[in-house]
Amino acid sequence: MTVETEALTAATERLFASRGLRQVFAEDVMRFDLAGAEPPDVALPPGVRLGEWGSDIAGRFFAVYDASFRDRPGFPGWPAERWVAWTAGDDEFRPQWSLLATGVDGDDAGFITCAQGWIVQVGVVPAWRGRGLGAALVAEALRRMRATGAADALLDVNVNNPAGQLYTRLGFTLLGRRARFQRTVS
Ligand SMILES: CC(C)(COP(=O)(O)OP(=O)(O)OC[C@H]1O[C@@H](n2cnc3c(N)ncnc32)[C@H](O)[C@@H]1OP(=O)(O)O)[C@@H](O)C(=O)NCCC(=O)NCCS
């Protein structure tokens, strides 16, 4: 038996536990209030430049996604065509807010993809982590969203992903927790 909730609370957790349900997945939905706050001012690491999504560089976005997410639990290992279709095929996809970061040596270092109202994915290849690139990509996407009058930006982050601390530091707040519980019926 599987039970899903879009708004986990301590009371729901107790209720599910009392029925023998075990949590198998949880992610936080976080929100940045674009109407109420300026996006944080985070500089790109020196020499890094950004390029907007285009079909000619979709393969490079995929390569950076693949290198960034392959160590995450549950990584699906999709081929490029599937990930590109999933990303750009969404009617709400916003190529102008979806950015590829490239270092001075020409190596792609990170990316962010966005849809209307959402940061969909952000990733930085392992060799580039911890230098502020993830924060700078999120801040730049927020600036672009705000410039078009968007009121807020949402994202999902697995509760086990330390990226949640980065989003909190940038000014995102918790909107709610989605979770899935299961009970094996014998
Ligand atoms: C999340 C991610 C994009 C951050 O990129 P980054 O360039 O290292 O980010 P920054 O340098 O701006 O910030 C680093 C912060 O990220 C957070 N962080 C994210 N993942 C982390 C990890 N595995 N270990 C430690 N800290 C991590 C910490 O808060 C860290 O802060 P600190 O440097 O003060 O310790 C990168 O770790 C990544 O690609 N992870 C795998 C893909 C992923 O999980 N994406 C987010 C999905 S919601």
Q: Ligand 1 atom 23: the closest Cα is on which residue?
A: 162
Question: How do the domains of the chain map onto residue ranges?
Answer: 1-35+151-186, 48-149
How confident is the model over 94-132, as pLDDT tens digits?
Answer: 999 999 999 999 999 999 999 999 999 999 999 999 999
Name the residue of 70, 112, 114, 129 whose CB sits within 8 Å of the most ligand 1 atoms, as the mutation to test its pocket.
129
How confident is the model over 58-67, as pLDDT tens digits?
Answer: 999 999 999 9
The answer to whether 128 and 105 have CB atoms below 8 angstroms apart is: no
What is the spatial distance between Cα 78 and Cα 22, in angstroms, rounded to a whole number? 28
Name the residue of 156, 166, 169 whose CB sits within 8 Å of the most ligand 1 atoms, as the mutation to test its pocket.
166
Structural tokens at position 111? 């990316």
Q: Ligand 1 atom 8: the closest Cα is on which residue?
A: 129
Write out residues with Cβ below 6 Å of ligand 1: 68-69, 72, 122-124, 129-135, 157, 161-163, 165-166
What's CA 83's distance to the chain center, in Å?
A: 15
Give strand pairing partners of 124: 110
Q: How far is CA 40 from CA 50, 137, 142, 148, 163, in A?
A: 18, 11, 9, 17, 16
Residue 185: pLDDT band by 50, 70, 90 thresholds?
confident
Residue 48: pLDDT band by 50, 70, 90 thresholds?
very high
19 phi and psi, to 5 degrees?
Answer: -100, 10
Closest ligand 1 atom to Cα of 68: 39
With b for 16 or more beta-carbon neighbours within 10 A and e for fewer, the 156-175 pattern comes to: ebeeeeebbebbeebbbeee
94 phi and psi, to 5 degrees?
Answer: -120, 95
Architecture of domain 48-149: 3-Layer(aba) Sandwich (3.40)
Question: What pLDDT, on a 0 to 100 scale, did the predictor assign at position 184?
Answer: 81
Ligand 1 centroid distance, CA of 46 (Å): 18
Question: What pLDDT, on a 0 to 100 scale, did the predictor assign at position 120?
Answer: 98
How confident is the model over 146-169, as pLDDT tens digits?
Answer: 999 999 999 999 999 999 999 999
The answer to whether 75 and 132 have CB atoms below 8 angstroms apart is: no
